[in-house]
Amino acid sequence: MPTPRVVLGVAGGIAAYKACELLRLFTESGHTVRVLPTEAALRFVGAPTWAALSGQPVTASVWDDVHEVPHVAIGQSADLVVVAPATADLLAKAAHGLADDLLTGTLLTARCPIVLAPAMHTEMWEHPATRDNVQTLRRRGVVVIEPASGRLTGVDSGTGRLPEPEEIFAVARRVLRRGRQRPDLVGRRIVVTAGGTREPIDPVRFLGNRSSGKQGYAFARTAVARGADVTLISANVSLPDPAGVTVVRVGTTEEMRAATLAAAAGADVVVMAAAPADFRPAEYAETKIKKPADGSAVELKLVMNPDIATELGEHKNGEQLLVAFAAETSDAVTNARTKLASKKADLIVVNEVGIDKVFGQETNAVTVLGADGSATEISQAPKEDVADAVWDLIAARLV
């Protein structure tokens, strides 16, 4: 298989230094990378740094090596173009087809997938001109990753921070894996739940489960790579925020219910990949429960938690698709068919779980049952590959 050829564009923002780590991630995973900084980017990180890390020549000018026609040749030969950071100026030029340097010229000639990771001050990101430019680029099939929130230049904080390089790389890797397919979830609002809820018993103890959240996070990452607007309801997960995703953190099943119902209003797809606790203690002890001195048993009365997927199924709006999950230890498919009907879901993803199965693992194998009677087997694969296969089934059902 030929070595993937990646163009890494770097625009003139303070976050340019983070692109050095992104470059490392590409080269160390076997990609050939050509870095195209703008003249402004070179004020932050010099050409020798990019050349040393990439092993490729570096220039911002279309006047170097003119006999090779680089502004055309580089874009024509690329398998992927990633720009990180993409400034407001770069987004405007890309949206309007301006090409006054090697990077913007390459963006015009490239026929491969393009991923832009914006970074700028909040006011610039929220300006109507920037928002219009982003929408224009997305309509054309460019994957524009939503920026993160956090510390910006100086003392400012807000939306506009460049996502972490590892998460940009994760999105870029998924886009590259899909080849020249256009993003098929552009304009779609997606809600994904992930992780396991915890029900407090007393100030130091809780009821929980083994869910790591990895499968739900894989659904969020792969949806971003396909162009979706993603909200992730995350329960007790120790994973980095996926790039381009709005993350809402919750603890209990009731908190997840409230957050999911709010986010689901107007969503095109809701993927219930989390493992909400089915039960909670009937009463919460305000102080730590002490061990009986005589060693006698302690009784814990449990009550049922609300079934979030069932509630969503009963109140689905319009053409919204509901994807439920069934984690089973026996008779998985039989039990899942019953759940599919009772929850009024469109699809249900079922797998057999256990101490050494699925939870916390990097791979998964599932069966996807449809309300239309379909059944699709997805064999053991990395969780992001499993998520992409399920998204294929979902995308085919969207109207």
The residues assigned a catalytic role are 209
Orientation of helix 88-96 relative to helix 102-109, angle to 10°: 40
**How many other β-carbons are positioned within 10 Å of the β-carbon of residue 125?**
20
Give the 3-state DSSP-derived string for the chain, with helices as H, strands as E and coil as C.
Answer: CCCCEEEEEECCCHHHHHHHHHHHHHHHCCCEEEEEECCCHHHCCCHHHHHHHHCCCCCCCCCCCHHHCHHHHHHHHCCEEEEEEECHHHHHHHHHCCCCCHHHHHHHHCCCCEEEEECCCHHHHHCHHHHHHHHHHHHCCCEECCCEEEECCCCCEEEEECCCHHHHHHHHHHHHHCCCCCCCCCCCEEEEEEEECCEEEECCEEECCCCCCHHHHHHHHHHHHCCCEEEEEEECCCCCCCCCEEEEEECCHHHHHHHHHHHHCCCCEEEECCECCCEEECCCCCCCCCCCCCCCCCCCCEEECCCHHHHHHHCCCCCCEEEEEEEECCCHHHHHHHHHHHCCCCEEEEEECECCECCCCCEEEEEEEECCCCEEEEEEEEHHHHHHHHHHHHHHHCC
Cβ atoms of 277 and 208 within 8 Å: the answer is yes
Cβ partners under 8 Å of residue 296, min gap 6: none
Kindly list the distances between the CA atom of residue 346 and the CA atoms of 260, 313, 326, 398, in Å, as whole numbers in the listed order: 17, 9, 13, 11
Question: In whole angstroms, what separates CA 34 from the centre of its chain?
Answer: 25
Q: Which residues pair with 157 in a beta bridge?
A: 151
Place of tokens 């010099």: 46
